[in-house]
């Protein structure tokens, strides 16, 4: 059954738009939650707000006059009001609440953080380095010392908004007198005015400037990490506290070493004879010292040799990572007569033949693992 929206407002179907507005305002003062906090009053206020909205819409009122309900969906329940963000907004529009209670905003505001990027070598990441960077941010105006005033006097209360930072205007609409609140055009919402703005910063208390700063990049820093310098960012409006400066570090690729966390990886090329008989390979570390990798006799391709404590310094904690050498056994593509003769003697002595052999190791070859998996 359709709801009687006229009866909700205490009206008859011959009521004019003016009658509807008057009835709504009279009932709104009685049932608004700010005046009457009971659950019954809240429900009543919701009903009269919906009734007024529908009866002031000509198309929806025509549906009501024909005995229908413009809000009834498939289940007969009222739908979305749509026109207002909430019933308290309707009351605020009539009686001037809500936005007018915000008050002025502070002239002194904290500054934003600043972000710079810099590039270093892996050697510099290993040892740490001091680096000079150029910063383009807002700094405190030296002329007014951040006050925004040429004479450095305190701001005066804005007479246009009486220090509220906002002004209110009453406008007539089909809903009646509607009060709107907007930022004060005289003070910009601060509630105070600087009578003699600083000519250098135009009253902002800060100016853009370029400055040089030395940053300390710690040993062990990784690619894309950031160094934070507190209070070295952008100064806020009105000479407010500066934000922080973040320097993002880009570490250049190294021709020898590849970094994995705190470990350093490299590839050592070992002739096949040295791999068979054993040898030593000297590697220059990132700090310039020489490190000897002992190649044991019988070293196989892709074997790994580890020297503990010769990797990167740990950024958070003591000690160093490891240096890990991946063995690449090199086979000569061309042989002179003497080398070929010696290798021929070795082949006859070893009496080994190329072919397919079963992998008798504990875990088996890659192919044997695949074979066993398919047999399951």
Q: Is 141 annotated as a binding residue?
A: yes
Contact (Cβ atoms closer than 8 angstroms) between residue 250 and residue 270: no
302 and 337 inside one domain: yes
For CA atoms 99, 102, 104, 109, give the dihedral sign.
Answer: negative
What is the DSSP secondary-structure string of 129-157?
A: EEEEEEEEEEEE-TTTTTSSBTT-PPPEE
Specify the pLDDT at position 256.
Answer: 95
User: Residues of the chain with pLDDT > 90: what percent?
Assistant: 50
Are 141 and 241 found together in one domain?
yes
286 and 234 inside one domain: no
Q: Count the domains in the chain.
A: 3
Q: What is the pLDDT of residue 34?
A: 67
Asked, for residue 249, whether it belongs to a domain, the answer is yes
3-state secondary structure of 283: strand
161 is in an annotated binding site: yes
Q: Is residue 372 part of a domain?
A: no
For residue 70, being part of any structural domain is answered with yes
User: In the chain, at which residue ranges do the beta strands (DSSP E only) sit?
Assistant: 114-120, 129-140, 156-157, 166-173, 176-183, 192-193, 206-217, 226-229, 245-251, 258-260, 263-271, 279-284, 290-295, 304-307, 323-330
One domain for residues 278 and 320:
yes
Q: Report pLDDT for 193.
A: 92
Find the mean pLDDT for residues 77-93. 43
Predicted local distance difference test score (pLDDT) of residue 83: 40
**Average pLDDT of span 241-259:** 94
Mark whether 230 and 115 lie in a shared domain. yes
Q: Which pLDDT value is given to residue 88? A: 44
- Asked, for residue 340, whether it belongs to a domain, the answer is yes
The response to whether 184 counts as a known ligand-binding position is yes
Identify the residue with better confidence: 127 or 91.
127
Same domain, 11 and 33: yes
List pLDDT tens digits, range 166-207.
988 777 766 667 777 888 888 888 899 999 999 999 999 999
Q: Give me the pLDDT at residue 98, please.
A: 43
Same domain, 120 and 219: yes
**Do 91 and 48 sit in the same domain of this protein?**
yes
Q: How many percent of the chain have pLDDT more than 70?
A: 84
The verdict on 263 and 328 lying in the same domain is yes
Residue 4 has pLDDT above 90, yes or no: no
Cα first-last separation, the chain:
70
355 shares a domain with 294? yes
Please tell me whether 148 is known to bind a ligand. no
The b/e string for 293-316 (b: 16+ C-beta within 10 A; e otherwise) is: bebeeebeeebebebeebbbbeee
Looking at 253, 287, 319, the residue that finishes a domain is: 253
Q: Is the pLDDT of residue 97 over 50?
A: no
Q: pTM of the predicted model, to two decimals?
A: 0.60
In angstroms, what CA-CA distances link 371 with 87, 355, 357, 363, 376? Answer: 73, 19, 15, 13, 9
pLDDT for the residue 297: 94
| In a shared domain, residues 307 and 286 | yes
Residues 209 and 314 in one domain: no
Domain of 304, CATH number, reads 2.60.260.20
The pLDDT of 310-323, averaged and rounded, is 91
Q: What is the pLDDT of residues 351-361, one digit of tens each?
A: 877 777 665 55
pLDDT at 373 over 70: no
Residue 296 lies in a domain: yes
Instruction: Give the domain extent around 136.
Output: 106-146+203-253
């Amino acid at each position: 059954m359709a709801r009687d929206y006229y009866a909700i407002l205490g009206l008859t179907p011959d009521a004019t738009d003016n009658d509807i507005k008057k009835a709504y305002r009279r009932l709104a003062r009685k049932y608004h939650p700010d005046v009457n906090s009971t659950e019954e009053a809240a429900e009543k206020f919701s009903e009269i707000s919906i009734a007024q909205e529908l009866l002031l819409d000509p198309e929806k009122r025509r549906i009501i006059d024909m005995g229908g309900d413009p809000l009834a969906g498939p289940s007969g329940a009222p739908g979305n009001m749509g026109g207002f963000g909430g019933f308290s907004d309707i009351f605020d529009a009539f009686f001037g609440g809500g936005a007018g209670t915000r008050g002025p905003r502070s002239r002194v505001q904290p500054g934003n953080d600043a972000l710079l990027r810099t590039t270093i070598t892996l050697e510099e990441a290993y040892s740490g380095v001091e680096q000079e960077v150029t910063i383009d941010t807002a700094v405190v105006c030296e002329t007014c010392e951040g006050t925004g005033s040429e004479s450095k006097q305190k701001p005066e209360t804005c007479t246009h908004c009486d220090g509220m930072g906002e002004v209110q205007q009453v406008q007539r609409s089909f809903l009646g007198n509607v009060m709107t609140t907007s930022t004060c055009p005289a003070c910009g919402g601060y509630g105070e005015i600087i009578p003699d703005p600083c000519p250098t910063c135009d009253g902002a208390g800060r100016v853009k400037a370029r400055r040089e700063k030395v940053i300390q990049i710690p040993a062990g820093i990784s690619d894309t990490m950031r160094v934070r310098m507190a209070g070295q960012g952008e100064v806020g409006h009105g000479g407010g506290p500066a934000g922080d400066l973040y320097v993002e570090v880009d570490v250049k690729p190294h021709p020898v070493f590849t970094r994995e966390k705190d470990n350093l990886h490299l590839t050592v090329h070992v002739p096949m004879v040295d791999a068979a008989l054993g040898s030593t390979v000297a590697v220059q570390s990132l700090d310039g010292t020489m490190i000897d990798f002992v190649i044991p006799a019988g070293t196989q391709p892709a074997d790994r040799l580890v020297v503990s404590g010769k990797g990167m310094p740990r950024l958070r904690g003591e000690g160093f990572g490891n240096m890990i050498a991946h063995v690449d056994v090199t086979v000569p593509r061309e042989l002179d007569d003497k080398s070929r003769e010696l290798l021929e003697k070795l082949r006859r002595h070893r009496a080994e033949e190329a072919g397919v052999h079963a992998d008798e190791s504990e875990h088996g070859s890659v192919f044997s693992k695949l074979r066993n998996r398919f047999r399951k």
